[in-house]
Chain A
C-alpha cells in the first residue's frame, strides 16, 4: 500500500510524516523523526527497550504501527527532561545510582519507572520490580534501577514535606 500521511503529537509538538502502514511506531520515531533515544531491541514485544508513553500510559512502540498513533500523544525518553533541557529528577537518580551499564534498556526503564511513580508515589520494592518486569536489562543491573526509582520517590517526598 502507498504511504499514509499522519500527524502525531510527540513530546508536545505536532509532527506530520508520511509512512507505509507496516512501519512500527518505534521505527517512525527513530527513522522518520530522528528521535533515537527510544531503542529498538527484539521487535516483537519481549524486551521493553522501545517503551514510550501513549496518551500518558506506557506501551511498547514495536507492537504498534505508526498509522495507529495518528492523532495521539506520545512521550519518548527525550520528552522526560524538563523544558530547559535539564534532566528530570528520575534521570538524575538513575545517574546517581549508576542504574545503567550499557544503556540499551535505559530509555524503556525510565519510561516504565516514570509511569509507575505517576500512579504510585510510594512504591515498595515489589511494586517497582513488577513495574519494570516487562523490561529486560541484559547487563542484569536491576538492583541499581530499583534503587534509583526508590531514591526518586524519597526525594519527591522530601520536597513535598
Chain B
C-alpha cells in the first residue's frame, strides 16, 4: 500500500502547470490537488504517474465568485470551503446539500471541487449536482482554453473527457433567477460519508398556478456516469406539483445500472426511482415556502 516512486513539482503558477503537462512526452504526469481520490489510487498501484504536479500553491484556483447568472468555482477550491460558503448556500443550495454528503470532514478539508469532477466517480455528489444544473468546465492547456458542458464530460466510470495536457481551472454553475425555487438531494449509502450506492439531485421552479415551470434532475450510481434525467425533467414540466407520480414512470429507460458488490442492478433501479421522487418532492415543498 505504498505509492510507486514519482517526481514531484510544486508549481508556482498556471503557466508552469501547463508547460509541465505539455512537455510530458512519454511520461505520465498527473496533477495533484487534494489527492483524496488520486492518492488511494496510487497506494493501490491503480495509478503510477511518473510525475506529480502539485497545484496547491497556484494562485487564482481557489475562488468562489458570483458572476450574476452563474457562480464560478476554482478547480482547487476545497469541498469544505464550498460547504462553509454563504454564497453557495444562498445561491446554489443544491450544491450546498450535495457537498455535505461527500466523504468525511477530514477528506473534505483536502478534497477539491475540480478533483471530484475530473475523476468521474459514478457515485460522486458534486458532479451530480453540477450536471443537473447544466454546469460547464473550463479546461486549459499551454495552447488553448476551452469551456465545455459537463453533459458529455463523463465518458465512463473514472474516465472523463480531459486531455493529458489539460487542467480543469474552473467550474461554472448557472444560478436560477426566480422566487419559487426549491432543491432536494437524497442518497443511500452503507453509512453517512460512504460512497453513495444511489444518489439523486433535483431543483425545481414553480409557476404562479402551482405547476412546475422547470425542473433539473439527475441520478448517480445508476450508470457508469452520473445521468441527467432529461425525460423526467420534460415529464415534470407543466405538471401540477401535487400530482407528480406519472412523471417518474419513464425513469427506468434513462438509467443503466450495473450489479456490483454493493448492490444489484434491480436494487439500484428501485432505489433510484424512490430517491428521485423524494428529491423532487423536497424541492417542490421548499419552492412552496
Contacts and interface: CB of A to CB of B under 8 A. Distances in A.
B192 interface: yes
B3 A64 contact: no
Interface string B1-17: 11111111010000000
A91 to B, nearest CB: 19
Interface stretch (A44-52, A73-81, A94-102, A153-161): A44-52
A150 to B, nearest CB: 18
B239 to A, nearest CB: 35
A62 B38 CA distance: 12
A35 interface: no
Contacts of A70: 10
B109 interface: yes
Chain A contact patch, size range: 20 to 34
A1 B106 contact: no
A125 to B, nearest CB: 13
Contacts of B32: 65, 68
A63 B40 contact: yes
Interface stretch (A10-18, A82-90, A128-136): A128-136
A4 B8 contact: yes
B193 A133 contact: yes
B106 A59 contact: yes
Chain B contact patch, size range: 20 to 34
A57 interface: yes
A107 interface: no
A21 interface: yes
B8 A21 contact: yes
B110 A21 contact: no
Contacts of B105: 58, 112, 115, 130-131, 134
Nearest to B44: A44
Interface in A32-68: 42-45, 48, 51, 54, 57-60, 62-65, 67-68
A138 interface: no
A25 B6 CA distance: 15
Contact of A43 (B8, B10, B43, B52): B43
Given A64-B110, A133-B192, A48 B8 contact: no
A121 interface: no
Do most interface residues of chain A lie in helix, strand or loop, or is the interface mixed? mixed
A21 B7 contact: yes
Nearest to A40: B1
A103 interface: no
Contact of B2 (A22, A57, A60): A22
Contact of B106 (A51, A65, A67): A51
B6 A45 contact: no
Contact of A48 (B2, B7, B104): B104
Interface in B159-202: 191-193
B231 interface: no
A58 B6 CA distance: 26
A68 B34 CA distance: 10
A20 B80 CA distance: 29
Interface of A: 1, 4, 20-22, 24, 42-45, 48, 51, 54, 57-60, 62-65, 67-68, 70, 112, 115, 130-131, 133-134
28 contacts: A1-B5, A21-B5, A21-B7, A21-B8, A22-B2, A22-B6, A42-B1, A44-B40, A45-B36, A45-B39, A48-B106, A54-B110, A57-B109, A59-B106, A59-B110, A60-B107, A60-B110, A62-B43, A63-B36, A63-B39, A63-B40, A64-B35, A65-B52, A68-B35, A68-B54, A133-B192, A134-B103, A134-B107
Given A44-B1, A133-B192, 10 more contacts: A4-B8, A22-B5, A44-B44, A45-B39, A45-B107, A60-B110, A65-B35, A67-B10, A68-B10, A68-B35
